[in-house]
Amino acid sequence: MKPLNTEVKTDENVSKEISIEENGTLESVNGNEEHSDVSSMQKDEEEEGKGDGLLFNDLKKKELPQQTDPPSIPVVDLFPSGEFPEGEIQQYKDDNLWRTTSEEKRELERLEKPKYNSVRQAAEVHRQVRKYIKSILKPGMLMTDLCETLENTVRKLISENGLQAGIAFPTGCSLNWVAAHWTPNSGDKTVLQYDDVMKLDFGTHIDGCIVDCAFTVAFNPMFDPLLEASREATNTGIKNSYQVAFDWRGVDLSLGLQEFTRLSRGVDRKEAGIDVRLCDIGAAIQEVMESYEVEINGKVFQVKSIRNLNGHSIGRYQIHAGKSVPIVKGGEQTKMEEGEFFAIETFASTGKGYVREDLECSHYMKNFDVGHIPLRLPRAKQLLATINKNFSTLAFCRRYLDRLGETKYLMALKNLCDTGIVQPYPPLCDIKGSYVSQFEHTILLRPTCKERFCSLGGAHKAITTEIAFEQKSSPFLTELIATATTTMAVTVSASILKSSSACVHMLLSSFSPAASFRTPPQFPLLRSSPITTITRTDRALLLLRPHHPKTSSFCTSPITNANAETTTTSESPPRPAVEDNSVNVKDAANMLDIRVGRIIKAWRHEEADSLYVEEVDVGEAEPRIICSGLVKYVPLDFLQDRSVVVLANLKPRNMRGVKSNGMLLAASDAAHENVELLEPPQGSVPGERIWFGSQEDKENQPAPASPNQVQKKKIWELVQPHLKTDASLVAMLGEHLMQTSAGAVMSRSLKNANIS
């Protein structure tokens, strides 16, 4: 729900911006005043005689219900207005905004609003179910129980109603080398194991408008690169990968937006959009996918795109509507068209990259265009009537027929398949012993923009931009605020931040939920500054005021002392402790050769567009060559002459013709949409070895393990799951600081993030 913004006049006639959230809480962002609840603000209003008490009473009465845990409230009850959250909006590339400014295009969208709302309702159900299922997944679960829990939750939240609302197709939970189309039949005793790679693919629909999304679950971290390959390949096919990277050093910030755009640089790659050829998307997906390698049980595998699996267009009551989106180059020249729905999905494999039909069939679907075909078997006629009534042309599985009370139907089902009325879809498998991962999202090519449903981050995403400048106003700032959208991202070099008076934060939020404000760790006073509104537009411009030591704010962050063994704040939650084996994990971590490094120069990999090649000084006679998959996250200029953290005792790996001798450590959020290199504190010297724990741990730190020992004993695999940043941006191993003699290692802005 978008916050409701109003203005309350004080005795001094000073305008205060008030944000009223879903739960009825009010917060003032003008100065340090905070009103903790509606009743206290209402009392203040009544004392001032403003007569606005009725407004707050109405707000309390209209307080929206919250979803239960486990979820059981239908989403229609959570959105009584009948309007469901919009998906993630992305602008089409190279369209010069003509689509968004065309009244004709906007009118086309208004005509399609009921259909869009149906898809958004299905997407909201999918998002809530996915969030719940992720919270309960664990090794040892019976696959049948997992599927039935998921499907029953969908039925509750979507208010299942025959063909008007319900499940779009059976829950796919294919394991390991099985890529797709496997769900347990009744009586199946398959159990989810720790070393399994499971693709969880399920769909929801309202009035036949289908949302098809999938993700992969792997408990063992050694499979993370495999999952990352398909996740990033899917994102490449969908999202705006043209990211602006701008170096502000020496630039006059009185320039306008047009000049800013001219000076900006970006990475151009084909992505889903109107008039884009499907073959171009496939080529971009394959390029990203096959830039990855994964080491499984000591053996390195080149990740491959499965060449005979594709994404697809989606129609009403038709999961495969005719167009295929390849995930390798050389596909069809067919173009995407305005108004079409697509499921963009990718499959990453350690096997041959080619699937075949195998194992017992569980998925079936009535052919969409089948006409009348006479049937001789009465049982087949009866079964077809059941299928028409409950599924029509939506896919189903044998468990669904069992649930409807059908018995002894296998012969009749075979007859329907033999006559061409029903199509069986057996499991699709790569070679036995291989592993396959999958990620999938549904997108809509609207007349004015592209809408991505089921984004993990929710329906709205606030964008935070950091800009350093000397004056208090700029035509550029005004123009940027006036034209920016919620999907615009600007990455600005932090190296030019020099003082607390030189930092402005803009929140381009379209009144989406509050975002956190981020500044680099070398400027802790800025990170401890309260927010003050200095101007009011449809998108707020927020300025950091000078810090006062006694003033706290929601963006408070402590200063890290170089000699401190811990960094705490009264507002920060306690750091998670590593489990019983914390001592062993810490000892193992201190056997890793993690050093301070400095990038001498960096350039794009000639054979892999997603890779950088860096020449890094790690205190040795010769610099090391290291490859990193940071192209989509970090501008190339940002890497030049940059202090980094290097894991140095890994075996060299061949990365598309370049031998990479080490790994740069970085923090990433849960969705892996934001990645930042870890930063050693100022004063750290290249080659200095990093340790975990206290000064005593540094003095007793053992010699680094050899690369062979690291691989054989799986030291990195043991340590990595415990590496995270805390709420203060400090890199931690459980409760132990990651530090140099100059202080703690930190992330620029990612809190509670994974480190890898």
403 and 439 share one domain: no
Residue 372 resides in a domain: yes
The answer on whether 345 is annotated among ligand-binding residues is: yes
Residue 10 resides in a domain: no
314 and 394 share one domain: no
- Asked if residue 137 has pLDDT above 90, the reply is yes
Q: How confident is the model at residue 683 (pLDDT cuts 50, 70, 90)?
A: confident
Q: Which among 266, 264, 71, 245 has a CA at the least distance from the CA of 149? A: 71
676 and 640 share one domain: yes
Residue 457 resides in a domain: no
Residue 726 resides in a domain: yes
- Asked if residue 581 has pLDDT above 70, the reply is no
DSSP H stretches of helix in 93-223: 98-101, 103-111, 113-136, 143-157
Q: How confident is the model at residue 580 (pLDDT cuts 50, 70, 90)?
A: very low
Asked if residue 70 has a cis previous peptide bond (ω within 30° of 0), the answer is yes
Among 111-120, 187-196, 649-658, name the most confident range. Answer: 187-196
CATH number assigned to the domain comprising residue 371: 1.10.10.10
Give residue 82's region: left, alpha or beta (phi > 0; psi -120 to 50).
left
Query: If you ran DSSP here, which 8-state letter would residue 259 be given?
Result: H
How high is the pLDDT of residue 272? 77
| CA quadruple 211, 216, 219, 222: dihedral, nearest 10 | -160
Query: What residues make up the domain containing 386?
Result: 367-425
Lookup: tokens for 464: 């935070």
Percent of the chain with pLDDT over 90: 46
Phi, psi of 439 (to 5 degrees): -135, 145
Residue 661 resides in a domain: yes
596 and 711 share one domain: yes
223 and 326 share one domain: yes
The answer on whether 212 is annotated among ligand-binding residues is: yes
- Asked if residue 657 has pLDDT above 50, the reply is yes
Residue 692 resides in a domain: yes
Residue 121 resides in a domain: yes
Lookup: tokens for 118: 């149906």
How high is the pLDDT of residue 496? 29
278 and 406 share one domain: no
Domain C-terminal end among 381, 410, 425: 425
CATH number assigned to the domain comprising residue 233: 3.90.230.10
- Asked if residue 109 has pLDDT above 60, the reply is yes
Domain C-terminal end among 436, 452, 468: 452
433 and 419 share one domain: no
Domain C-terminal end among 425, 442, 471: 425
Q: From CA 709, how far away is CA 718, in angstroms rounded? A: 13
Total tally of structural domains belonging to the chain: 3
345 and 314 share one domain: yes
Q: From CA 741, how far away is CA 743, in angstroms rounded? A: 6
Q: How confident is the model at residue 86 (pLDDT cuts 50, 70, 90)?
A: confident
- Asked if residue 576 has pLDDT above 60, the reply is no
Residue 62 resides in a domain: no
- Asked if residue 607 has pLDDT above 90, the reply is no
Among 149-153, 651-655, 668-672, name the most confident range. Answer: 149-153
- Asked if residue 698 has pLDDT above 60, the reply is yes
Tens digit of each residue's pLDDT (9 = 90 or more) over 353-374? 999 999 999 999 999 988 888 9
138 and 200 share one domain: yes
292 and 400 share one domain: no
CATH number assigned to the domain comprising residue 698: 2.40.50.140
Q: How confident is the model at residue 548 (pLDDT cuts 50, 70, 90)?
A: very low
Mean pLDDT across the chain = 74
**Number of other residues whose CB lies within 10 A of the CB of residue 124:** 25
Q: Which amino acids are annotated catalytic?
A: 201, 212, 312, 320, 345, 440
Q: What is the mean pLDDT of residues 256-280?
A: 60
231 and 373 share one domain: no
Cβ–Cβ under 8 Å, residues 607 and 660: no
Specify the 3-state DSSP secondary structure of 708: helix
416 and 277 share one domain: no
The answer on whether 440 is annotated among ligand-binding residues is: yes
